[in-house]
Structures are given as C-alpha cells and as structure tokens.
Amino acid sequence: MFNYKNNLEYEINKIITNHVNKIHAFDEYFFQNRDKDRYKVAKKCNRSIIFEFGKMIFNQRVYWDKLKKEYYYPVYEEFNIDKRAKIISWLKEEILSYIGRKKHYQDIQDIFKYTYVSKVTISKIHKNSKVQEKLPEQKFKVKNSEYIYINADDCYVPVWNKNHKREMQKIRSISYNTGKKQIGKNRNKLSNKIYTFMGDYKYSPKEDYLQANPTVDFTWNGLKKYYEFENSKLVVSGDGAGWIYNLAKYLGAYYVLDKYHAFYYLWTAYNIYYNSMYFLIH
C-alpha cells in the first residue's frame, strides 16, 4: 500500500545522497588533477552541514598549500560552504528573506521542517545578520530652497533568546526623502528616499537631554553620507515622542507630527475638555 510519508522521506534521502555524491566526486576530481607540487594532502575528515532538505555528512580531503603556507579546503570553495558554519550560507539567506517578509519563526520551522532548525538557531541567524548597505552612485543634490524630510520612529521585532523565551528587540528607524512626486492618478512616490536603522538599540532616558546624542549623530551622519546640501531646510516628523522632538531641536529642523498622531492628540485634548465640562454641569 502506498505510504505518502515514507515515499517523501525516501525521495528526500535520495536528494541528500545525490548532494553527498557530488561533493565526493569533486573531492576525488581535485585530488587527481591538483598541482601536486603546491597542494599536499594534510588530512581527511568528516563534515556535517544542514541544507534545505536536512543534514548531510560527507568526507573531504584537506590540503596544505605550500605557496600560501595555509590549509586549503577545495570542497568549501566549490560548494560555498563556510568553514565553521552549521547551516549552509544560502539557507541562512532564505531564512532571512522569510524574516524580511514578516514570517514568524514557527512559520519558518514549518517551511524547512526537514532541517529541524530550532527557534533559537533562527533567532541567532536574525541577530547576527548584517544588512548590506546599498549606497547611491552619487549623493543626491539638494538646493538651498528645497527640503529634506526625516521620518523617525521606534519599531520592535520579536526574537527568541537563548532561554527559548520570546522577547522584543528594539530598532530605531530613520528615513530620508526630498518630497514626493506623482506617478499615477492616485499614487505618489517619495523622491530620493533612503532607509537606515539603528539595530539592537539601547535607549537611555538621559539621551533626550544630552547634546552628545547618538540618534542625532547617526541621523546627521546619514544626511552627510547620502545628500549633498549646505543650507537646505530640514523637516523631522514622528509620533510625538520626546527623542524625536529633541532630534528636530538639535538639527535645527521644523518638527511635524504625523497625521495619525496629530488627530489622536487633538481628539484626546478635546475629549478631556468635553468630559470635564460634562462633570462640571452635572
């Protein structure tokens, strides 16, 4: 009788075996065709690594490179395997791509269930990830009469710590643009926009009152890195938090509440006035 689960496991084992055979074939090919005057076999060793379909264990030869005076791992170079990594690099990239698409750790576990990757491992990949900065080919030029808009906010990303407990990691978001342009009947696009993030941010209440403010330094350095300007006007917008107000003050910028919070504070103020009048009358 056909058993889907057993058949699926059989097919996955075939895929793993096929990958291992490719590695062994290349290892033997390099051994037979290497420059024997340069590469001397130093040792043979086993290695295990997790990829999309589970864990594969393979044998490899390690060589001593007489020219560079160091150990050489041709299998690692050919198959893009990090020397000490437990998970293959492109699987890490896949996991990070799902995190970027706001997938929960449990969702990622379900997607890569045959790897048996844990929430703690996913969290480590997330925390240790480095965002590659893509700089513009040249700085955006801004005239003195034009504005640079700075949008500031705090956001929180759920991660799992070493004790398997869920915690929120704080990230400070600073984005820039030079206005908006209409690209459709009911659609606008921000011009010359740049997004930056202060990861693993440690907040101190004293920061809001210090001139040596890390958020101000980070924001100002971003302005100088991405934009060419002298006396352009700066506008800082946010949700009314004290650190955003102080950011605008230190930069000498106009401060603007975003639409949602502006209406929220206005409604709260009028609501308090209405309630106080109600109690006075009654």
Kindly give, in sequence order, each residue whose CB lies less than 8 Å from that of residue 49, ignoring residues fewer than 6 positions away.
55, 56, 81, 85, 86, 87, 88
pLDDT at 33: 95
pLDDT in tens, 227-246: 999 888 999 998 888 888 88
pTM (2 d.p.): 0.49
Burial 112-139 (b: 16+ CB within 10 A, else e): bebbebebebbbbbbeeeeeeeeeeeee
Residue 275 has pLDDT above 60, yes or no: no
pLDDT in tens, 147-201: 999 999 887 776 666 677 777 777 888 999 999 887 666 777 888 888 888 865 5
